Structure 1
Amino acid sequence: MKIHHRIAAAAIVPIAVLGFTACASAGGGETGGGGEEAVKITLIPGVTGLPWGQAMAAGGEAAAEEVGGVDFSVAGPANVDPNAAVKAFQQVVSAGADGVVLNELPPELFTRPVEDAEAAGVAVLPITTAPAPDSTSTSFVGDSGFQLGRLGADAIADALIAQAGSEDVTGDIVTGICVPGLSVLTSRIDGFTERMAERLPGVTVLEPFDSKGDPAANFSVWQQAVAANSDAIAMMGPCQQDVQSLVKIKQDSGATWQLAGFDIDDVAVGGVEDGTVVGLFPLSAYLQGYVATRLLAESLVNDEPLPEGWVETPIVAVTADNVDEIVAREASLDAQAEFWKPYIDDIFSSGSVETRPLAEANE
């Protein structure tokens, strides 16, 4: 479908920024408007090769340009590669960054490198993935993966009830996870499992199997899982490739089990449009990139402390009711900026952002 091609094209736009310095200084070059040297901020989104990582980079660049006096760049691996991400972070710190917006995938691996960076005077603001409980970080910008999972469970529960014509629903839900143990993904499964038990106590959410990160391997193991659980009433995977695989399997087989997802791409959005997917509950990547970069930039430029605690970003679901609006939003960076502006204005309306206790981000 044509609209899917528009989504895919928009997702590629920010790649031009990745790996290069995108100067966002107020006066041009690498100095601020008053002649002072620009502060150097690097965004490490965790994954630069996927649409959400690219949207996060675009939001960060927009914020840096708006604040001014910022030399902004993006770094990190194209795909999930924790060791490469840590290496990229350490290289950015060694290269003289003043601040880093960092998606810690996984947080436990970054605890010591972040502590070392902060001890060296580099400001680090975690984004998307909450820092580990023993981290020295005192601020975080992101949503709740646990809440994303609960929203996915509500969507599937509603669909199952409508399908059965009753709340007396029983059966199994198969779950997989492409990176076992990764907290940003396990929290989605935990939230999903808890909420499903509340909504439909007769339904059993099976323990997640390793659904593999490689797309081809992911598709193969999901084919096997679906075949081995032919009576399952729903499938759930927290990864982008999980939903891409399951959409194709469901469409090709004509299966009636329910499916929800957590990423925006042409396959997943097409699934919402044709009813294969009951809803998508993605992180607000552009918004998170913007908010975190703006907070860090304002802190460094104005020599003020970061707000302590969890700056929670809203979750915007994608359903049959708003899918056309989301397609239009994803068609260009200008459209994304326009869509998220009311949310940005709300977050910064009082002059100081609202925060929640950081510990709650790990619950």
Structure 2
Amino acid sequence: MRTHHRMIALAVTGVVALGLTACAGGEADAGDDNVSITLVQGTTALPFAQTTAAGAKAAIAEVGGVHLEVAGPANIDPATEVKIFQQVVSTRPDGILLQELPPDLFTRPVQDAEDAGITVLPYTIAPASDSSSTIFVGDNGFDIGRMGADAVADALIAQHGSEDITGKIPTGICVPGLSVLTSRIDGFRERMAERLPGVEVLEPFDSKSDPAQNFTVWQQAVSANADAVAMMTPCEADVQNLIKIKQDSDATWQLAGFDINDISLQGLRDGVIVGLFPQSSYLHGYVSARLLAESLKNGTDLPKGWVAIEVIPVTAENVEEIAERESSPEAQAAYWKPYIDEIFAADTVATRPLADANK
């Protein structure tokens, strides 16, 4: 395995792009680890990213003999993430766990990394169709969107006492064109058309990734659509802002969320939102890190295809259980252990066709 350095300084055109954190596997000191892996995230600041990193660190500690670095821009910034990835490649780790935000920007950089002998494993966001990647660990955003639509449709039917509902659903997207977000919108729109054909899911507008701008944009959208029956967004900050807007205005439109955080959990407790349909971020980090670490350490091939990770809906019935799960890395590890045991029960992890992850 390649020799790696414990401290790596990465900067991007005068901007400090990341702070690298290190995690040595097992009891060994980082200098004794035989395998080096870097987790490159699309954002390091949001709760889901921190949960993903916690899962990856847990897997690395279990495998042992592996040194893990965590890198990425604090906030979503695709161009900066690409530069960070390329600089990580220049340090020559044995493997990289990569959240491609967005996938089309990483096709060439990933190929360059693999040509340099570095194993790249995409997680959370499925690679582009022209990518050289042959494995993906994550879920299907389209299916997540359909789950959100079912929850909103059920709430609307209960609210109006009928399936004969007409109206519109304004839709915002914080990073236009990002596949992990657009797939949720597409799934939501398709399922809503099946459940409530009289309800129109409007084309998404740019809700802005900056939280302050995002709040203003949504205030304007809500004001301009006073007759809306629901609001739709696949973005974490958007849902947080919409919870506040709905509470402050006593609005009656429906809303589902797709990420777990304290604000959204409280919004679910208070009945402001109808449910959360989050990615299982801890599993994304754990499963991808364990697969890559064991492959590199044992000299075995990674499985080919999509390692599908289950999505656990959060409802009024299980919100306290999920809140307890989210309270610490130890609670996460305990909650997810049965799922992890099932995934790794066989000699080879089960996969589905890679193309199915984008359907």
Q: TM-score, normalised by structure 2?
A: 0.94
**1:21 alignment counterpart:** 22
| Deviation of the 1:18 alpha carbon | 5.8
Verify the 8 A CA contact 2:26 2:62 in the aligned structure 1.
no
- The residue identity in structure 2 corresponding to 1:219 is F
- Mapped to 1, the partners of 2:265 and 2:347 lie a distance apart of 36
Q: Which runs of 5+ in 1 are unaligned?
A: 1-16, 33-37
- The residue identity in structure 2 corresponding to 1:332 is S
Counterpart check, 1:188 vs 2:189: no
**2:5 alignment counterpart:** none
| Deviation of the 1:136 alpha carbon | 0.2
- Mapped to 2, the partners of 1:347 and 1:249 lie a distance apart of 40
Counterpart check, 1:293 vs 2:289: yes
| Deviation of the 1:25 alpha carbon | 4.7
The counterpart of 1:50, out of the listed 29, 46, 50, is 46
Counterpart check, 1:139 vs 2:126: no
Percent identity, aligned pairs only, is 65
Counterpart check, 1:152 vs 2:157: no
1:269-288 C-alpha deviation (Å, 9 max, x unpaired): 11100000000111111110
Counterpart check, 1:250 vs 2:246: yes
Verify the 8 A CA contact 1:26 1:67 in the aligned structure 2.
no
**2:35 alignment counterpart:** 39
Verify the 8 A CA contact 1:100 1:122 in the aligned structure 2.
yes
- The residue identity in structure 1 corresponding to 2:132 is T
**2:271 alignment counterpart:** 275
- The residue identity in structure 2 corresponding to 1:253 is S
Q: Which runs of 5+ in 2 are unaligned?
A: 1-17
Once superposed, which parts of structure 1, at least 4 consecutive aligned residues long, lie more than 2 Å away? Answer: 25-32
**1:7 alignment counterpart:** none
- The residue identity in structure 1 corresponding to 2:195 is R
**2:175 alignment counterpart:** 179
- Mapped to 2, the partners of 1:332 and 1:126 lie a distance apart of 25
**1:128 alignment counterpart:** 124
- Mapped to 2, the partners of 1:334 and 1:96 lie a distance apart of 32
- Mapped to 2, the partners of 1:307 and 1:30 lie a distance apart of 29
| Deviation of the 1:167 alpha carbon | 1.2
Task: Give the 3-state SS of the residue equivalent to 2:38 in structure 1.
Answer: strand
- The residue identity in structure 2 corresponding to 1:344 is I
- Mapped to 2, the partners of 1:220 and 1:67 lie a distance apart of 46
- Mapped to 2, the partners of 1:246 and 1:338 lie a distance apart of 32
- Mapped to 1, the partners of 2:210 and 2:228 lie a distance apart of 24
- The residue identity in structure 2 corresponding to 1:310 is W
Task: Give the 3-state SS of the residue equivalent to 1:307 in structure 2.
Answer: coil
1:266-307 C-alpha deviation (Å, 9 max, x unpaired): 111111000000001111111100000000001000001100
Verify the 8 A CA contact 2:173 2:204 in the aligned structure 1.
yes
- Mapped to 2, the partners of 1:25 and 1:95 lie a distance apart of 23
**1:100 alignment counterpart:** 96
The counterpart of 1:327, out of the listed 317, 323, 327, is 323
- Mapped to 2, the partners of 1:96 and 1:58 lie a distance apart of 23
**1:337 alignment counterpart:** 333
- Mapped to 1, the partners of 2:35 and 2:193 lie a distance apart of 49
Counterpart check, 1:72 vs 2:68: yes
- The residue identity in structure 1 corresponding to 2:143 is Q
Verify the 8 A CA contact 1:146 1:188 in the aligned structure 2.
yes
- The residue identity in structure 1 corresponding to 2:50 is Q
After superposition, the CA RMSD in angstroms is: 1.1
- Mapped to 2, the partners of 1:347 and 1:23 lie a distance apart of 24
Verify the 8 A CA contact 1:124 1:137 in the aligned structure 2.
yes
